[in-house]
Structure 1
């Protein structure tokens, strides 16, 4: 019996996915923990929106203590950093078989379209999401100047 697959024009055809295939290969490799050292740190995923007076940033940072988060603003440049700590509590005789969660330092830098008034910025951390409100810096009102 043959099975038919419905064609979806928005889904690419199945192909060899090299990073995934190599990752599967190294999952079975006995020195998997050594391979982990070569992996890149995870991204801090962000959403940025704006209204007439401010920019709003939401950054996913699950498992991070709010005291381990650093936030800095310089003009229109925003830097978010965090130290992700790993709780290692093993019972006697317990051996770790596989460790995939990242721990260490993570950092994200990005620029906004306009400058920010850092003195009025606000940040709140709740349920693994850092919410930042960044008021736009007043660049002055445009005005028509009479030429004499």
Structure 2
């Protein structure tokens, strides 16, 4: 009985699938990045974060000291119809997030947030640093 061995060229294996075009999602269904502007004022930071196409109920902001985290659940659907026939139906569900540190701790109790026209606006007051206490010597 003879034993058959399959010969594979290592170079062919290296390039297998190399020239196959990956599937592209349409640009309106690609996961987005949170684009931000952070401005420092004397007593607070102002943050403007662009999160288009997201409901305000799906946005979460967490503050821990000087660390700020923004996350949102993205749900996008697109359906192309020709009369009653559906030609294409695409969906994207995912989460985007962004975290950053500021130079000063944030007063969480006085921080405010609003969301309008796809822009999250945060006002993050700096925590006042308690001054040293002077002791009298008796």
- In structure 2, list runs of 5 or more residues that go unmatched: 1-18
Residue equivalent to 2:15: none
Residue deviations 1:54-78, cap 9 Å, x none? Answer: 0110000011111110000000000
Q: How many Å separate the matches in 1 of 2:76 and 2:66? A: 33
Which TM-score applies when normalising by structure 2?
0.68
- In structure 1, list runs of 5 or more residues that go unmatched: 1-24
Is residue 42–residue 102 contact of structure 1 (8 Å, CA) maintained in 2?
no
Q: How much does 1:139 deviate?
A: 0.8
User: Taking structure 1 as reference, are residues 43 and 102 closer, same or farther at Cα in structure 2, changes over 3 Å only?
Assistant: farther
Larger Rg: 2
In the comparison of the two structures, how many residue pairs are matched? 114
RMSD (CA atoms): 3.2
Aligned pairs for 1:1-148 within 5 A: 29=21, 32-33=23-24, 41-91=31-81, 92-96=84-88, 103-141=93-131
User: Taking structure 1 as reference, are residues 132 and 74 closer, same or farther at Cα in structure 2, changes over 3 Å only?
Assistant: same
Residue equivalent to 2:8: none
Which TM-score applies when normalising by structure 1?
0.64
